[in-house]
Structure 1
Amino acid sequence: MGLRERKKALKRQEIVTVAIHLFDEKGFDNVTVAEIAKQAGIAPKTLFTYFKSKDDIMFHNETALLTSIRHLVQQQTSVANLWPAFHQFAEDLPTNEATQAALQATRRLMANVNRTPELNGRRLEMWATYEAGVQAALIEQRLTDSLTAQVLAHQMILVLEIVFNAELSDELWQARVTRIFNATSQVASLTNEVDMTI
């Protein structure tokens, strides 16, 4: 990375740091782009060369966990191993050094989004991006067909949506994840018992 790119990356991070501090302090809706730009020492017009909108600043690292989940999928040799491996991955998020930074970033993002109903649409877009990324990884690994990959990806990301919907301490994290996975097993059992014949 050249000097110009490094300077640009540093300024981008400064904008994020300033904005997140303001969002935490005043609430997302009460912070203007002009205010963020002023505290970052740039003109509002310049800020828009780094981010298209205030939403984009909030969601600057929205796919922080997606890379790790795709990596988990790529390590599997059978689709049968993926669900238990993902269960373990989700439980271990607070204690796994490789994912701790991504977990904290996602926790902070979801905490801000949960306090700002206007961002719900963007939250849905984020999780849809995760689903598409996991589905693509499943197909690339040739673990299953496209339709099964779509359903499985949806189930995996639904677990994350539910667990991130509450602000949990590390101590409560594992128990909550286990309950969610138990609930998905119960639902699967119920649907297996339904007579699908017409």
Structure 2
Amino acid sequence: MGLRERKKALKRQEIVAVAMHLFDEKGFDKVTVAEIAKQASIAPKTLFTYFKSKDDIMFNNETTLLSGVRHLIQQQTSVANLWPAFHQFTETLPTDETTTNLMLITRELMANVIRNPELSNRLLQMWATYEAGIQAALIDQRLTDSLTAQVLAHQMVLVLEIMFKEELPADLWVTRVTRVFNATSQVASLTNEVDMTM
């Protein structure tokens, strides 16, 4: 990374730090872009070269967990192995040293959304980005066809949505993961039992 890129990355981090401090202090909806820019010693117009909106500052780390899921997919050689691998990945998120940072970043983002309900639509956009990213990774890895990849991506994102909907203590995380994956299996079984000729 060249000097210019390093300076830009540092300024981006500074903008995020300033904004997060203001959000915590005043509440997300009470903070203006102009105020963030002033505190970061830049013009509002310059701030928009780093972030498209105030929401984007809050969601600056939104794809961190997605990167972890994509990496998991890239390690698979068969779609049959993916669901058990994803189960294990989700279960060990809080304890595996390679994923604890993904967990902390995502939890912090979810806590901010809970405190600021006006961000709920932006959260829906984030999950849509996850779905598209997972589907693309499945297709790139040649694990399945496009339609199956779409359905599987939707299921995987649904699991993540449920797991991060509220902040669970570490001792309840594994129990919830088990219940969520059991529920998805039960739904699949029920669907298989439906008489499609009716």
**Which interval holds the TM-score relative to the shorter structure?**
over 0.9
Match of 1:183 in 2: 183
Match of 2:50 in 1: 50
Q: What does 1:95-174 correspond to in 2, within 5 Å?
A: 95-174=95-174
CA distance in 2 between counterparts of 1:194 and 1:101 reads 42
CA distance in 1 between counterparts of 2:175 and 2:20 reads 29
After superposing on structure 2, the runs of 4+ consecutive aligned residues of structure 1 that deviate more than 3 Å are none
2:192 alignment partner AA? N
TM-score (norm 1): 0.94
Deviations 1:108-157 (CA, angstroms, capped at 9, x unpaired): 11111122222222111111111111111111122111111110110001
CA distance in 2 between counterparts of 1:2 and 1:109 reads 30
Deviations 1:68-110 (CA, angstroms, capped at 9, x unpaired): 1111111111111110100000011111222222221111111
- Please give the secondary structure, in 2, of the residue aligned with 1:49: helix
Matched, 1:197 2:197: yes
Match of 1:88 in 2: 88
Identity of aligned residues (%): 80
TM-score (norm 2): 0.94
Count, aligned residues: 198
Q: Which runs of 5+ in 2 are unaligned?
A: none
Match of 1:37 in 2: 37
2:5 alignment partner AA? E
Q: Which runs of 5+ in 1 are unaligned?
A: none
Match of 1:68 in 2: 68
2:51 alignment partner AA? F
2:188 alignment partner AA? A
Structure 1 range deviating more: 96-105 or 145-154? 96-105
Deviation at 1:46, TM superposition (A): 2.0
CA distance in 2 between counterparts of 1:61 and 1:93 reads 17
- Please give the secondary structure, in 2, of the residue aligned with 1:180: helix
Structure 1 range deviating more: 125-134 or 186-195? 186-195
Deviations 1:24-71 (CA, angstroms, capped at 9, x unpaired): 232211211122122222222221221111011011111001111111
- Please give the secondary structure, in 2, of the residue aligned with 1:171: helix
